[in-house]
Structure 1
């Protein structure tokens, strides 16, 4: 992966360095913990690495940006690298040395880049949080159509009766409208983890409701709260 990313950037390694992990500093964690010139140099080298990884990911997801130009790619790349560096430093003490430090760092850049692209792709798009949508999926045959509408009605009823208003909003946005979880977290002012927990609870309640109504076998695990 390092060779693949290297072709995306222009960062020059210090003389004699065979790879980014050979570059000064050799002990990333220790150097990044102590303020001073060495830490500043490490931050600059690390940011360049994160920017290259982020640019690679932005290019992979560029189709989501439509007519995004070079300036857009550069903007998203920089934002992702900045965010990745901040996230990495906040979790520096969690690095266990099971992989190269730079390999560990790549993950932060890739995640942040993917998040930035999704945010940009959804920028300006309306996200309905009403939760009152009717879930229908027309089928080709009359009998299948009736069954599909019947199940859709049951699911819609479960959304209305089994879920709290917040659970319903989250379930509709994530499951029906396919809103990216990080975008929804931004809109609602919450976290990805909190949304995943809400969705998990909502699914359990919906399953319990459908089981009680006879749409799912009674042996299914329900455990709604």
Structure 2
């Protein structure tokens, strides 16, 4: 059973690991830890197995959840992701545009920054800036003790509010 769990964990960490900037022996170690922890959880919850699915399918879920948990914790230990809005000022510098386009981009970035700070709730602001900074949704969901669907809804509402404010200020048109 442990060998099967290790194989499942290895597949999962090699599939998802690069997104978390993890490679080499660390991935292998993470897979073995996840498999061992999953085996412990399966052992403790074996009485709850109802037989609605194959046992290996049921066990697979434990491994995937352990991998997600470990990747999320690893990301927050090594991440330099920030929730500050200071990064917004760097967006036009990366584009390599002419001065007029640069000025327009700076103006739009400032409008977005203002909209983020005034139109969004604290929770929406935290989720929005985390997503903009590239924090994986699994990691963010783990950190905020929620799920991906709740984060999608938060992002949907945040984008809707930002778009409405930017349209009201004349920065975006009604088209599109």
**TM-score exceeds 0.5:** yes
Whether the aligned pair in 1 keeps the contact of 2:13 and 2:67 (CA below 8 Å) is yes
* Structure 2 counterpart of 1:165: 122
Mapped to 2, the partners of 1:206 and 1:91 lie a distance apart of 46
Q: Tell me the matched-pair count.
A: 169
Q: Secondary structure at the match of 1:119?
A: helix
Hey, what's the Cα distance between the residues in 2 that align with 1:121 and 1:133? 20
Counterpart residue number, 1:54: 9
Q: Is the 8 A contact 2:5 2:60 kept in 1?
A: yes
Please provide the CA RMSD for this pair: 3.7
Aligned partners of 1:90 and 1:163: how far apart in 2? 42
Kindly indicate whether the alpha-carbon contact (under 8 Å) linking 1:50 and 1:84 is maintained by their aligned counterparts in 2: no
CA drift at 1:149? 1.0
Superposition TM-score, scaled by structure 2 size: 0.70
For residue 129 of structure 1, what is the aligned residue in structure 2?
Answer: 83
Q: Which has the larger radius of gyration?
A: 1
Alpha carbons 1:80, 1:116 under 8 Å: kept: no
TM-score (norm 1): 0.57
Task: Quote the Cα distance in structure 2 between the aligned partners of 1:148 and 1:92.
Answer: 58
Structure 1 pair 82–60 and aligned structure 2 pair: CA distance change class (3 A): farther
Corresponding residue for 1:120? 74
Higher helix proportion (structure 1 or 2): 2
Specify whether residues 103 and 191 from structure 1 end up closer, same or farther in structure 2 by C-alpha distance, changes over 3 A only.
Answer: closer
Where structure 1 has 5 or more consecutive residues not aligned to the other structure, the ranges are 1-44, 221-225
Give the whole-Å Cα distance in 2 for the aligned partners of 1:191 and 1:83.
Answer: 21
Task: Give the Cα separation in 1 of the matches to 2:78 and 2:109.
Answer: 30
